[in-house]
A and B are shown apart, each in its own frame.
Chain A
Amino acid sequence: MARKITYMQAINEALDQEMTRDETVVVFGEDVVGGTGSPGEDDAWGGVLGVTKGLKAKHPNQILDTPISESAFIGAAAGAACSGLRPVAELMFVDFMGVCFDQIYNQAAKFRYMFGGKARTPLVIRTMWGAGIRAASQHSQSLYPIFTHVPGLKVAIPSNPYDAKGLLIASIRDDDPVIFFENKVLYSVEGDVPEESYVVPLGEANVVREGGDVTVVAIGRMVSLAEQAAEGLAQDGIEVEIIDPRTTSPLDTDTIFESVENTGRLVVVDEANPRCSLAADISAQVTQECFSALKAAPQMVTAPHTPPPFSPVLEDEYVPSAQRIADAVRETVGGRVGQPA
């Protein structure tokens, strides 16, 4: 039975239910409990924004605080995954991934390949991404393209509470390392989420809205902005089909290609910096596979090639807006919807 809960509560519930279902599921990271070893309240933090709050009381032996050393506890998570546990490590902000990148891209991602397919690495790294909370460029980047680039890693980027719960459960049950991207602006967004456990399969895009004129592929927080843009465009008779890939590795190119074969037009909305981004990747794949169907050049709506600015005015300009998405869609139709191109 579904009821409305937030994106943050959906993630907490997925962790809670998986820790109950399987006692090898363990959660650790900086302050995921909060206050361990110091006087005062136990479970004081539940993670820097409170996502894991309450799990300590329910699963006292499956959740623990770590020292402030990403290289140590992400390495520990990779090792634990190889030796029988299903660790879910929380790496506060994806911007901090640099200090433990070796453990991820050069170790965990390669175990399956190096050991002839015999090693399993059921590791999940939860991490926050995205601009919008005035936290400056060391806490605001959209670095999922870097992880999407690495073979052996899976990358999940939920855009709503329902997908957040189902994708996290899928990630925990998956036998490969998954980097799970949580958008901090979405944490307070509410949506219908079933009380029971369920799996949203990795590698299956969601067609958020159907339309025959332009395909808009939008990632994470960009999905709701694309929906806003589509509402306005529909008033002018432009019908947009919105695709949320949900995972960028594996990427459900079938659904994207099928849509572009129908619409002939593509806009990709990606909060990451433009070079070597998902916007660039998806545009390239569509151009190669659907070239004869295309009626206009694919458009990319991204952040500029700069770090996220600290100035609130500039930060608001930095993130793609519904207006910029609508402008890009209009660019692809050139005002000639319904006429032979």
Chain B
Amino acid sequence: MSLAITKVGMPKWGLSMKVGQILEWLVDEGATVDSGTEIVEVETEKIAGAIEAPAAGVLRRRVAGSGESIPVGGLVAVIADEATSDGDIDAFVAEFQANFVPPEEGEEAGPSTEKVEIGGISLRYLRLGEGEPALVLLHGFGGDLNNWLFNSPALSEHRTVYALDLPGHGGSTKIDGGFKDLVDAVAGFLDELGVERAHLAGHSMGGAVALQYALDNPDRVASLVLIDSAALGDEINADYINGFLSAAKRRELKDVLKLLFANPDLVTRQMVDEVLKYKRLDGVKEALEALASDLFPEGRQMVVLASRLGEVQAPVLVIWGAADRILPLAHAQGLPENVRVEVLDGQGHSPHMEAANEVNRLIGKFLDEEGV
């Protein structure tokens, strides 16, 4: 059997993913692909995403058709060179299918979250990978550590990744606090876990937290990644904040969550359900209202740190979806010289979810080049 045969497997996006359903093939059988070419769209319970070719070659076999479900780790496609015979491909598929054991229903596969107590507040976090400096991921308003489901596995290949639930969010304590409490929580978290120096990556409100921490603690930050970040201008789409706060029913909330993405079809029932269940938890309403009134009163951002970006000594990467409907692209323009800016055409407010592979590559490259 040729060594040039490469398996394309069903990836595991997020802790709870068990199967993925083939939505649409993007590449025909027989077509040549590069490493990184998106070859098939897959839908999970939470979100849809694309699987990339892990190696260059010819897409020799699509193992499943549209609508079929494949367990995590199962065979999706086969890439090989042109010289490999069809017989060898058949044998590869047959051997894989004969030996493949899908993960058991209910089996706790993969890492689980942990909690740490800081000043009377419990913070939930996920830790993946090994290597210093660690990368700390900070989600946006109303989000949680699962927003990084497409990113944390890839980014943890070369370093420790911590994805954190900020206070008031996810599995962390629901406090009625403001912006300063979020920054203090991150500081307390890094102290408690003994993280001397870290890369910080923040999305939206999490970007504002990361930036404030970097300004306050220049010695502790190796680099800063700001994705469609808050605090780089005073405009914000108040419909999103107000809609997120007030939506009580699935359909209302679905319309609000669509603002997060360029492609509204990415908002699945499961995603809406999870946000709705979060919003019903005791203390969440008060926590989000307190944050919103501190950070975004009357439809404007109160914390604007764009003019201080030049003070950040660590390398800074700003990533922005050009079609962001919550924070305008203008906030990524005219930034100081020390800031590298990557604009993703056709992407919305959440490129780390919607264009995860591209964002992972940008962050990986930035950390490799600037990493200390």
Contacts and interface: CB of A to CB of B under 8 A. Distances in A.
Interface string B105-125: 010000001000000000010
A207 B250 contact: yes
B251 to A, nearest CB: 8
B249 A1 contact: no
A197 B250 contact: no
Interface range for B: 10 to 19
A197 B248 contact: no
Contacts of B124: 1
Interface stretch (B206-214, B274-282, B357-365): B274-282
Contacts of A166: 280
A175 interface: no
A289 interface: no
Given A1-B113, A1-B171, A196 B248 contact: no
A210 interface: yes
B340 interface: no
Given A1-B124, A207-B250, A200 B280 contact: yes
A2 B16 CA distance: 11
A4 to B, nearest CB: 8
B300 interface: no
Contacts of A4: 106
A200 B277 CA distance: 9
B249 A204 contact: yes
Chain B CB within 10 Å, residue with most, of A194, A196, A200: A196
Nearest to A254: B249
B171 A198 contact: no
Contacts of A162: 277
Contacts of B250: 207
A201 interface: yes
A197 B171 contact: no
Interface string A191-213: 00010111111001001001000
A194 B144 CA distance: 15
Contacts of A2: 277
A1 B144 CA distance: 11
Nearest to B283: A196
A199 B269 contact: no
Contact of A197 (B106, B269, B282): B282
A199 B283 CA distance: 11
Given A1-B124, A204-B249, A207-B250, A198 B269 contact: no
Contact of B248 (A1, A204, A210): A204
A210 B248 CA distance: 18
A162 B281 CA distance: 12
B16 to A, nearest CB: 9
A194 B277 contact: yes
Nearest to B282: A197
Interface in B254-307: 269, 277, 280-282
Interface string A172-199: 0000000000000000000000101111
The 6 A-B residue pairs whose C-beta atoms are closest, nearest first, are A198-B280, A1-B171, A197-B282, A198-B281, A196-B281, A199-B280
Interface of A: 1-2, 4, 162, 166, 194, 196-201, 204, 207, 210, 255
17 contacts: A1-B113, A1-B124, A1-B171, A2-B277, A4-B106, A166-B280, A194-B277, A194-B281, A196-B281, A196-B282, A197-B281, A198-B277, A198-B280, A198-B281, A199-B282, A207-B250, A255-B249
